[in-house]
Structure formats: structure tokens, C-alpha cells
Amino acid sequence: MKVHEYIAKDIFKKEGIPVPQNKMVVNPDEARAVAMEMGKPVVIKSQILVGGRGKAGGIKFADKPEEVYSKAFEILGSTVKDERVEMILIEEKLKILSEYYLSIVLDRSAKKPLIMASMSGGVDIEEVARDTPEKIVKYYLDVLDEFLPYQGREIAIKMGVPNALISKVGAVVWKLFNVFQKYDATIAEINPLVVTADGILAADAKLDIDDDSVYRQKNLAELEKVHKSEFAYVKLDGNIAVIGNGAGLTLSGMDMLKLYGGEPATFLDIGGGSSQENIAKALNIVISDLDVKTVFLNVLGGITRADDVARGVLDVLNASKRKVPLVIRLTGTNEEEGQRILKEAGVSYETSMEAAAKKAVELCKNYL
């Protein structure tokens, strides 16, 4: 089980490995607030489970808090290396003097943990491994022996770390092995381990937990689940399913529906930054409910993109056997594209919530 960077960094911190000041957020408003509070230049890092984010555009820098909103907006909801970004880490930007590499992996053929460390860390460690493998120190551990702090320092010395940093780097090596062991990891990696004027910090964190051990790392599994958020969904007595992106919008949709004499069958909040898949999932939930006679999909695109919504709707209309009248209110980010997609497919839409609610009530009456 791969662990997101922000969770891995919390663990590292708890185990005494220095990490930059940071906070995970899920929307641009929060991102700006966090950056304002920090009051210094920040890095905006997409929280996805694949590496190489820097090169793929998944990491942005903002020197002023005012730049954070728009950069966070850009990165949230975008796709980086085939993964949709739903969380970002706002982290203090470090003044990097050098970048080291440190990893511990379970070497399955040797049946031993293997520590690899290098003073040539950063984004190009694969190239270092290929072109100048002598720059990477390899150190096998015997699981039956205790790994002692002096061995961490020994590795730092083999790396060629300057004298002033040997005890600091050695301590991080030792602590990272504690994490590796305590959390049943198959990989624990810091790349880069950054040297600044003030010391060393784990600027990135990678942690992969042995799938066979997840049962005894339940807290971690729970933490990872929290943000794979299912929707906020409540079934109600009426017959018009109300779906919205955001609790406030979903509630307003319900109010509007009632104003025109309709009765909500659901409160279903798909949340901000919903994907095509999420839209389809939400629609399928309500359509498979036979009490639902009409669907009122109320989307104001912010991080959620109107074209994703339109595609999600078409996915369901094309695949679903049950034909239920559907009213879509679609405005916001990428609305032209979203509306074009619907129009081309012969699906009607509204741009105002009032008009859509009214229409949903009418359609439902005719359908009954």
C-alpha cells in the first residue's frame, strides 16, 4: 500500500526526522490561507502516489501568498502522470544547498533490507544509478541484528558527507530504518534529503507498506481511506434526486426544488473537484434507486470542470438501462466545452438553478 507524501511526512516527523513546515489542503481558499499564515515562499505539491511529479508539472512554486490561489486552482483537478490531483501539500520553500538521496528497500532476492544513500540526490537519481553507480552507497542489513546509531553514521561517512553533517545524516538514516521496521515498509525513501543553512530536512517522502502487513497498520490504512472520500449521501422521501458539488449548493438545489413544488429523493454532495468518474458514480447511485423518478444535477464548476461533468453524464446515459428524466444545470469552469458536449449528444441543460429546478419538477410530473 502506497502512502501519500503528506502522511509519510507526518510519520517521519513523529519519528524524529526533520521535515519542512507543511499542511495538506483540498481547495485553493485553504491553500491561500495556509500560505498567508506561513508568511513565506511556498511549494505547492500535488499529492499523488506516483513519483517524478516535479518533472511532470505536479510541483509549483509561489514566492508570494497572492500567487498561491491561482496556482493551487490550476493544479487541483488537473491530471499529473495519469492521476487526478485532489489534494495538495503547501510547504515552506527551502533554500537548497545540496540534495542527498536516501532509501531503504526490502531486497527480496537477498531477503534483507538494503540501504542506498548518495550525495547526488534529487530528481535524477536513476541517471546516477546508471551512469555513476559508485556514487551510491549500498548497505545490507541483517534483520536478526539490531541496527545501531553508529551504523547510520558509518553510512554517512561512506557517502562522503561533510564532517559537520555526519551525525545529522547518520541520525536520519537510523531513524528512517526505525520507520521502515515499525511500519512494515517495503520502501522508505527520502529524495531529496535537503541540506540548507540550518541543517537537513526530508523534502520528499515515500513510504510503501507491505500489503500483507496492512492489517496491523490499520491507522495508516484508515488515514489513506479518508481522502478517497465517498460522497455525502442521504436518502429522502421524495422522488427527485438532487446532486450537487458542495454541500451548500446541494442544499440550495433542494430548497429551489421545494419552492417549485418538488420533493427531493436524495441529498448527494459529490464534493469539490469531482471527476468524470465521480459524476458517473453519483448518477448511477441515484438512477439505481427506483424511488427516483427524475434527476436534478446541479453543478457550478469551480475545481470541478463542466466538461468532466458532461462526459460523466454521457457515460451514464450511454450505459444505463433505466431511462430517467435528467435535468442538468451546468455552469462554471470549462462551461462552453461542457455545454457543447451535451448539446452534441442531444442532452439539454440549463444555466440557472431556478430554471433547472422548475424543469425538474415539470418533468417529474409528466413522468409519473
Interface region with ligand GDP, contact rule CB under 6 A, candidates 90-98, 127-135, 233-241, 303-311: 90-98
Catalytic annotation, pick one of 6, 100, 101, 183: 101
Q: Looking at the DSSP assignment, which residues form a beta bridge with residue 83?
A: 80
Q: If contact means CB under 5 to 8 A according to the sort of partner, which of ligand GDP, Mn ion, none does residue 303 touch?
A: none
Could you tell me where the beta strands, DSSP code E, fall in 26-111? 42-46, 59-62, 79-80, 83-84, 88-92, 98-107
Contact code string over 49-68 relative to ligand GDP, x by CB under 6 A: --xxxx----x---------
280/282 Cα distance (integer angstroms): 5
Q: If contact means CB under 5 to 8 A according to the sort of partner, which of ligand GDP, Mn ion, none does residue 203 touch?
A: ligand GDP
Q: Is position 23 an interface residue for ligand GDP (rule: CB under 6 A)?
A: no
Q: Is position 123 an interface residue for ligand GDP (rule: CB under 6 A)?
A: yes
Q: Which amino acid is at 173?
A: V
Q: Which is nearer to ligand GDP, 93 or 340 (CB)?
A: 93
Q: Looking at the DSSP assignment, which residues form a beta bridge with residue 269?
A: 232, 244
Query: Distance from CA of residue 304 to its chain's centroid?
Result: 15
Among 29, 36, 40, 96, binds ligand GDP (CB under 6 A): 96
Catalytic annotation, pick one of 189, 224, 335, 350: 189
Q: Which amino acid is at 142?
A: D
Rg (CA), the chain: 25
Residues 6+ apart with CB under 8 A from 323: none
74/296 Cα distance (integer angstroms): 28
Q: Which is nearer to Mn ion, 101 or 296 (CB)?
A: 101
Query: Distance from CA of residue 299 to its chain's centroid?
Result: 22
Interface region with Mn ion, contact rule CB under 5 A, candidates 164-172, 174-182, 183-191, 215-223: 183-191
Contact between 10 and 24 (Cβ < 8 Å)? no
330/320 Cα distance (integer angstroms): 21
233 among known catalytic residues:
no
Note the helical H segments in 55-203.
68-75, 125-131, 149-159, 166-182
Q: Is position 204 an interface residue for Mn ion (rule: CB under 5 A)?
A: yes
Interface region with ligand GDP, contact rule CB under 6 A, candidates 46-54, 287-295, 297-305, 322-330: 46-54
100 among known catalytic residues:
no
Contact between 202 and 219 (Cβ < 8 Å)? no
Helices (H) and strands (E) in the chain, counts: 12, 19
Interface region with ligand GDP, contact rule CB under 6 A, candidates 47-55, 112-120, 219-227, 261-269: 47-55
Q: Which is nearer to ligand GDP, 30 or 124 (CB)?
A: 124
Q: Is position 191 an interface residue for Mn ion (rule: CB under 5 A)?
A: yes
Question: Can you give the binding site for ligand GDP, defined by CB under 6 A?
Answer: 43, 51-54, 59, 93-94, 96, 99, 122-123, 191-192, 203-204
Question: Can you give the binding site for Mn ion, defined by CB under 5 A?
Answer: 191, 204
Which residues participate in catalysis according to the annotation?
A: 101, 189
